[in-house]
Every structure is written in C-alpha cells, then in structure tokens.
Amino acid sequence: MKEDKVIQPHHHHHQLLLRRLTVFSGNRLARPISFLLLLVLSYTLGYFSASPPPPPPPLQTPIDHHPTTTVAAQTFPDHNRFSTRCAAMPVPSKLIRQTVINRVFNGSSPYYSFPPPHVAHLLRPKRVKGWGSTGSVFETLIRKVKPRTIIELGTFLGASAIHMAELANRLGLKTQIICVDDFRGWPGFQTRFTDIGSINGDVMLMYQFMQNVVYFNVTDSILPVPYSTGSALEALCELGVFADLIEVDAGHDFHSAWSDINRAYKLLRPGGVMFGHDYFTAADERGVRRAVKLFAQVKGLRIQTDGQHWVIDSAESH
C-alpha cells in the first residue's frame, strides 16, 4: 500500500463533513456567503488534517581523532589571536629595573625613604610566610636558566622572591626580580594573618613585604609592581619587559591561573621557563592543574613536575 493512499480516521471525517456542506449549500443556500463559508471551512480542515513536519535529523557527534593533543585547539581554533601586541623591541635586561621604576613609580624608587612614618609602627622587622617557597625547584631552575630577569606573579610577604634573590646572589648572577601582586591578599586573609595591620581598610601587605626585602638586604634585586596580574602583565608586554623565568603563583582558581599563564607565556624570552606552585593539591584539578594541563595541550608543550610545582620549559615540546 502506498503511503499517500492511507486515509486517517480524522481525515475521513473531514471529507464527509465537506461533502454534506457542499450538498447543503448547493441545494438551499446558493448565495455568495455560503461559498465563502465553504472556502474558510475547507481551509481550516485542511490545515488541521495536514501531517506534522518531519522530526529534525539527529545531531552528529564530532569524532575527535586526536583527543589528547588537539581537542582544545579544535574547539578554540582562534585561541592564539590576542589583540595586545608586546613591544617589538625588548627592553635590555640591564635597563629593566630603571624602566619599571620610571613607568610604575614615576622615576622614584619605592624603597626611597622607606618606611613612611604613618605605617612604620604597624610593621614588624621581619614577617615572612610562604607556601613551598623554598622548594628545590627554585634552585634547580635558577641554576639551569641563569635568569637575568624573573617575573613573579603572586608575592605575598616575599618568601619565594627573597629566596630566589638570595639564590641568584649566591650563584653570582645579576638577576632582577619583578614582583607582581596587588598586595591585597584575599578577602578575609587577615583573620589568619592578624598581625598584618591596616589603615582604614588599606592592608599593609606591600609595606610588610618591602620591609622583609629591606631586612634581607635584597632591595637591589627585587621590585614590586603593585597591580593586578592582568593589568601588570599587559603593561609589561607593551613596554617590552620580558623574562627568562616566570613564577605563576597568584590566583589559584581556574580562570585566574588560565589568564596568568597565557599572559605570562607571551613575556617569556625564547627558551624561557615558566613554573608554579600547587599542582598537586586536590582542589586544583579544577584550578591550577586544569589550567596548566589545558595550556600545555593547546601549545603542545611538556609539563614536568618538581614536588608540588609544575614546570613548562618553552624550549621543550611534546
């Protein structure tokens, strides 16, 4: 039986109705209004008895032939298209300190006349606290890379920065460490660090960090850049301040880590190394570790680990 010959019960009923109406109108109401009525009714019945539209074709599931290496690159094919362009001419290593002082501090060293009288009484001679801030990765990488410039994202009280400055000095390197931190800590951190004072809500974290740098006599090696990592890295990129070694240890949620790693990578000199902490903490499968893994996957780079630290050497691909 062909499909177009099948008469549905409701369709059959409509035809019967139409036939009766035709007879009725032809015999008794041979007037224009009856034809109009017939027309409207036939249209309505035809509309309701029409078969429903065919269902849409099922969605095709794309087959990923290279799930481990290219899935992110396939999903975001324009991942590497950023609007910001870093300066074409890198600032020479020996000019980096003065460039940062000029551009960030208007030409005057932040250590000049430090500490200011209105905060001096709130500072302790030395107050250092870090997390994995003296791990073996620091010495391994400083010996390997012999960096002229280090950028640290996330400094807090300076434990890791001071450790790197002392290592570099011991190895006879002339290393400048640029410490990017907004020096706000995180909301509520003062409930744990009750001894870090504040004035009208302005927490003394940067001052205590600088006091620590003074205490350990490494002011020549360390400069703070007291801004968010996003805006600071953007500015360093435009200025042409590149680094041989970059430590990423600021925000640990996925989006912060992802943004910092991507921005930082643009500031790595050829052959430079990027590394960071908290690769193995449980929560970081959704935070730092996820960002590092995805980044390495997109760029085809190899992740190495050293204790709790991850390391990506830009010279070493898969």
Cα distances from 131 to residues 154, 182, 309, in angstroms, run 11, 18, 11
Q: Measured between alpha carbons, how far is residue 251 from residues 37, 187, 220, 289 in Å? A: 74, 12, 27, 12
Binders in 188-207 for ligand SAM, by CB under 6 A: none
86 or 137, CB closer to ligand SAM? 137
Of 182 and 284, the one with the shorter C-beta distance to ligand SAM is: 182
Residue from 260, 253, 255, 269 nearest 233 by CA: 260
Interface with ligand SAM: number of residues (CB under 6 A): 19
Q: CB of residue 249 vs ligand SAM: minimum separation in angstroms?
A: 4
**Which one among 155, 208, 211, 297 touches ligand SAM, defined by CB under 6 A?**
155
Sites for ligand SAM among residues 215-274 (CB under 6 A): 228-229, 249-251, 256
Piece of 8-16, 55-63, 115-123, 155-163 that binds ligand SAM (CB under 6 A): 155-163
Question: Given the structure tokens 């800590």, which residue do they identify?
Answer: 185
Which residue number, 93 or 212, has a Cβ lying nearer to ligand SAM? Answer: 212
Residues in the chain: 318
Burial 150-170 (b: 16+ CB within 10 A, else e): bbbbbbbbbbbbbbbbbbbee
Q: Which of 212, 201, 202, 188 is nearest to 130 (CA)?
A: 212
**Least Å from the CB of residue 260 to ligand SAM:** 8
Q: Which is nearer to ligand SAM, 70 or 169 (CB)?
A: 169
The reply on whether position 154 binds ligand SAM by CB under 6 A is yes
Q: How far are the Cα atoms of 156, 221, 231 from residue 149, in angstroms, in the given order?
A: 19, 10, 19
DSSP string for 132-163: STT-HHHHHHHHHH--SEEEEE--TTSHHHHH
Tell me: does residue 284 bind ligand SAM (CB under 6 A): no
Q: Least distance from C-beta 155 to ligand SAM, angstroms?
A: 5
Buried b (16+ CB within 10 A) or exposed e, 6-20: eeeeeeeebeeeeee
**Smallest distance, Å, CB 132 to ligand SAM?**
7
Chain position whose Cβ is nearest to ligand SAM: 130
Residue from 184, 255, 286, 302 in contact with ligand SAM (CB under 6 A): 184
At closest approach, how far in Å is the CB of 181 from ligand SAM? 4
Among 130, 135, 147, 272, binds ligand SAM (CB under 6 A): 130
Check residue 110 for interaction with ligand SAM (CB under 6 A): no
What is the rounded CA–CA span in Å between residue 189 and residue 184? 9
Q: What share of residues in the chain are helix, strand, coil (percent, to 5)?
A: 45, 15, 40
Among candidate residues 124, 236, 118, the one with its CA nearest the CA of residue 178: 236
What is the closest distance, in whole angstroms, from the C-beta atom of residue 105 to ligand SAM in the complex?
Answer: 17
In the set 181, 244, 284, 313, which binds ligand SAM (CB under 6 A)? 181
Which listed range, 18-26, 127-135, 138-146, 289-297, lies at the site for ligand SAM (CB under 6 A)? 127-135
Which parts of this chain interact with ligand SAM (CB under 6 A)? 130-131, 133, 154-156, 159-160, 181-185, 228-229, 249-251, 256
